[in-house]
Structure 1
Amino acid sequence: MTAIDRARCRLTARPLALDAALAAGVLGCMVAGSFVDPHGENGVTWGIRTPDPLGLVLMTLGAAALVFRRRAPLTVLALTGAVSLVECVTGDPRVPVAMSAVIALFTVASTTDRPTTWRVGLLTTTVLTGAAMLAGPLPWYAQENLAIFAWTGIGATAGDAVRSRRAVVQAIRERAERAERTREEEARRRVAEERLRIARDLHDVVAHHIALVNVQAGVAAHVMDKRPDQAKEALAHVREASRSALDELRATVGLLRQSGDPEAPTEPAPGLDRLDELAGTFRSAGLPVQVAHADHGTSVPAAVGLAAYRIVQEALTNVQKHAGPGAKAEVSVVRVGQRLEVTVLDDGVGHDPGDERAAAPGEGGGHGLLGMRERVAALGGTLTAGPRHSAGFRVHAILPVETRTAVHGNPGETA
């Protein structure tokens, strides 16, 4: 920082001292100007005339009023204008008392709005110029009278220009600050949405595979002594479900890697083409599942396919956990125009006390149903879930095939 910058900072921090210095400078200029005769024999002549006592008093009063120009700009303008008016009418019009009024008018124009500047500027210019022309000792066309008109107009115009520049700079600063806040809020929102998406994926993967592991482990424990071959088969299913869970967890956690970490798995996200494979894992766990496709063999966006797969996965997991022994499940995927309808039905005997699906509609169910609703809402679709009239449970999702360009910033989930 240079010495000039340091001095400017100190003066800006003390506005009263700055105004006092300005008033002293204006007083010096006015006093010096009062010794100048612009109509001398050799042009502008210095020291030919001296100001009268009234002129010195008026110049001192006008300069002293400028010390308070920031605190009361209109009052200071009225005082300096009155002093200048007295000088124009009764004193020597060549004494530049009007200089204080010009500075005060500049201050008013730079601190108020444009309509106020117009009104005050026209009033000041008209009164001072008219008084000098009509009541002053010089002819109305004298250059001193025209100078009053010119300098008051320049003061008002310069003050308005300064005010406009300040407004532009302030608007630019506010836009920059607002843009910065918007970027920070957008970053926080994306982080929250990404955390929510990963939480849903983790819940779907863990709930599904752990439920299968639990069922198969129970089967193995039940038939271990009497039918060891069936127990081995159940343990093989446990091993396969565990391996699948680890693979999917590894793929999900891979999204959290930093830029310098090893590459994350690049296996594509599951979609409708893996529904039969998904149903097979449940059949191997003892849950009869029928899958019906009526999507006309058309492809859907990756985001829609992943959401449909996760909804079916979570719904069948809930059937496995809560529908009771002997329950059966039916899965249907139907393409209707620009919508994909996914339905999962079961014929379970009823809900046990710990069934998360038995929650009241206002309670939102457990985390599985909440995750399904969030997935569907993110795509702009609808989901209904509730008990069937006879027995069992029904999950029905309507997913629009034309999704938004990006779904919560998930790579690969684009329309």
Structure 2
Amino acid sequence: MRRPTPVDVVLAVGTFGVFTLPVLIRGTGHGPVAAVAVLGAAVSVPLLARRTAPVAVLVAVTLALVVAVFADVRFTPFVSNAGPALGIAVLTVAERLPRGASLRVCGACVGLLTAAEVVAMTLPRETEQNAIQLMLAVPAWLVGYALGSRRRAEARLRVEEDLRAKESERRIRAEERLRVSADVHDIVSHTLSMIAVRSGVARMVLDKRPDEAREALSSIETASRSALNDLRAVLSSLREAPPVGGPAVERPALSDVRSLVDRMRGDGYPVTLVLPADATAPPLVAESAYRIVQEALTNVVRHAGRVPASVEVSRDADGLTVAVTNGPGSTGAGPGSGLGLTGMRDRVALHDGTVEAGPLADGGFALRVHFPLRQAEGDRGA
């Protein structure tokens, strides 16, 4: 059984101390002193358990009042035994129980007490009776029902808020898994494509041009280390804090697009870059833009070969725009699976952006991605 709260203690002690104790001290009650004390306590003490057993408390208070009516005992300074005990008990039942159940319980108890008072009025008694208990019970039930309705509404609101919070957490986790899977795909896909190209070069020139072969192997080593660093950065973003003593890793920014293009040029791919200094973006948008360029250039290597390509990044009042185009060509790899473009669209959708991709009239391919400024500013604030 739950312990009574301080409010319950105050109500029980106050009911007895204000309405029964003065009668005992002054001797102004009616009936034996022991009966006055016992019945006064019988309607006050049960209030300690009103929160854990509201129906039992109301029944106990009602029976004590009925006994007092027929025993011709008055334990309050009023005409009848009118006091707050019955009102508090009715209020608690109305607050704790559903409307229908509280009406039935309160109606039965108050009806029993009222009937007892009406019967007592016809009997020869020294104490007078009235229907004041009924008048107290009606507003008490209304107040209790209003408090209970408010409490239940607040409970439903808390449940709904918890559900929304859990749903928001699930959505954030899903978006994080999507971002991580897209990052891993872009990093591995780009690196393996570069390794495949450079290892083929090294194999062909190993005997005749060993210097060039060593340069190709060095590029493979550099690409592998860079991919490991990128993967470490992606995985570290899943942790609350980086490992103690571990190397600090940074997620790619827009400025890293220059290094990406330079590596492509070092591998013999004619790529032009337009990246103004004022083309800035919040970290999450900048990383997504970098991954978009990385995946687009990887697709150029896979499906077009060593053809002229261009990368243009611009920032205006509407947001950040990334455009990657390449001329016609083919490496014989055939059409792609489409997962790269799907991953781009999923990544850009996290920022409410748009993706336009399709072949050009001359046989080339163009990709244009736009990140809206409104979402970008929201990310900056976050």
TM-score by length of structure 1 reads: 0.63
In structure 2, the CA distance between the partners of 1:173 and 1:280, relative to structure 1 (3 Å rule), is same
State the Cα distance separating 1:216 from its structure 2 match. 0.3
State the Cα distance separating 1:76 from its structure 2 match. 4.3
Counting only pairs closer than 5 Å after superposition, residues 224-239 of structure 1 correspond to structure 2 as: 224-239=206-221
Residue number in structure 2 paired with 1:371: 343
Residue number in structure 1 paired with 2:161: 179
> Which of 116, 122, 133 is residue 91 of structure 1 equivalent to?
122
State the Cα distance separating 1:153 from its structure 2 match. 2.0
State the Cα distance separating 1:22 from its structure 2 match. 5.6
Contact 1:348 1:393 in 2 (8 A): yes
How many Å separate the matches in 2 of 1:2 and 1:399?
Answer: 57
Counting only pairs closer than 5 Å after superposition, residues 26-45 of structure 1 correspond to structure 2 as: 26-33=65-72
How many Å separate the matches in 1 of 2:204 and 2:52?
Answer: 89
Q: Which amino acid aligns with 2:349?
A: A
Other structure's SS at 2:278 match: coil
> Which of 319, 329, 333 is residue 309 of structure 2 equivalent to?
329
Counting only pairs closer than 5 Å after superposition, residues 105-184 of structure 1 correspond to structure 2 as: 147-148=130-131, 150-184=132-166
> Which range is displaced more, 276-285 or 299-308?
299-308
State the Cα distance separating 1:307 from its structure 2 match. 2.2
Give structure 2 stretches of 5+ with no counterpart. Answer: 6-45, 80-99
Residue number in structure 2 paired with 1:339: 319
Are 1:306 and 2:306 counterparts? no
What is the number of equivalent residue pairs in this alignment?
A: 319
In structure 2, the CA distance between the partners of 1:351 and 1:282, relative to structure 1 (3 Å rule), is closer
Contact 2:269 2:308 in 1 (8 A): yes
Name the % identity: 31
Are 1:348 and 2:320 counterparts? no
How many Å separate the matches in 1 of 2:137 and 2:51?
Answer: 26
Residue number in structure 2 paired with 1:395: 367
Counting only pairs closer than 5 Å after superposition, residues 200-215 of structure 1 correspond to structure 2 as: 200-215=182-197
Contact 2:2 2:52 in 1 (8 A): no
How many Å separate the matches in 2 of 1:406 and 1:268?
Answer: 21
Residue number in structure 2 paired with 1:188: 170
How many Å separate the matches in 1 of 2:53 and 2:113?
Answer: 27
In structure 2, the CA distance between the partners of 1:76 and 1:95, relative to structure 1 (3 Å rule), is farther
Per-residue CA deviation, residues 223-250 of structure 1 (Å, 9 max, x unaligned), is 2223222212111111111111112122
Other structure's SS at 1:287 match: coil
Larger Rg: 1
Q: Which amino acid aligns with 1:313?
A: Q
Give structure 1 stretches of 5+ with no counterpart. Answer: 45-67, 97-142, 360-364, 408-412
Other structure's SS at 2:252 match: coil
State the Cα distance separating 1:344 from its structure 2 match. 0.8
Residue number in structure 2 paired with 1:124: none
State the Cα distance separating 1:260 from its structure 2 match. 8.2
Contact 2:236 2:242 in 1 (8 A): no
How many Å separate the matches in 2 of 1:331 and 1:299?
Answer: 16
Contact 1:257 1:264 in 2 (8 A): no
State the Cα distance separating 1:186 from its structure 2 match. 3.0
Per-residue CA deviation, residues 52-95 of structure 1 (Å, 9 max, x unaligned), is xxxxxxxxxxxxxxxx986845974897599579759x935969
In structure 2, the CA distance between the partners of 1:375 and 1:243, relative to structure 1 (3 Å rule), is same
Residue number in structure 2 paired with 1:318: 299
Are 1:285 and 2:285 counterparts? no
State the Cα distance separating 1:313 from its structure 2 match. 1.0
Contact 1:322 1:355 in 2 (8 A): yes
How many Å separate the matches in 2 of 1:69 and 1:318?
Answer: 70
Contact 2:324 2:366 in 1 (8 A): yes
In structure 2, the CA distance between the partners of 1:302 and 1:259, relative to structure 1 (3 Å rule), is closer
Per-residue CA deviation, residues 229-284 of structure 1 (Å, 9 max, x unaligned), is 22121111111111111121222222234558316644443223232221121122
In structure 2, the CA distance between the partners of 1:25 and 1:344, relative to structure 1 (3 Å rule), is same
Contact 1:254 1:265 in 2 (8 A): no
How many Å separate the matches in 1 of 2:103 and 2:126?
Answer: 27
Contact 2:233 2:251 in 1 (8 A): no
Per-residue CA deviation, residues 34-68 of structure 1 (Å, 9 max, x unaligned), is x78x9xxxx99xxxxxxxxxxxxxxxxxxxxxxx9
Q: Which amino acid aligns with 1:297?
A: D
> Which range is displaced more, 189-198 or 381-390?
189-198
After the TM superposition, which segments of 4 or more aligned residues of structure 1 sit over 6 Å from their partners? Answer: 2-7, 17-20, 93-96
Per-residue CA deviation, residues 332-356 of structure 1 (Å, 9 max, x unaligned), is 2233333322111112336967533
In structure 2, the CA distance between the partners of 1:271 and 1:178, relative to structure 1 (3 Å rule), is same
State the Cα distance separating 1:292 from its structure 2 match. 2.5
Residue number in structure 2 paired with 1:386: 358
Residue number in structure 1 paired with 2:8: none
Other structure's SS at 2:255 match: helix
Other structure's SS at 2:237 match: helix
Residue number in structure 2 paired with 1:297: 278
> Which range is displaced more, 169-178 or 239-248?
169-178
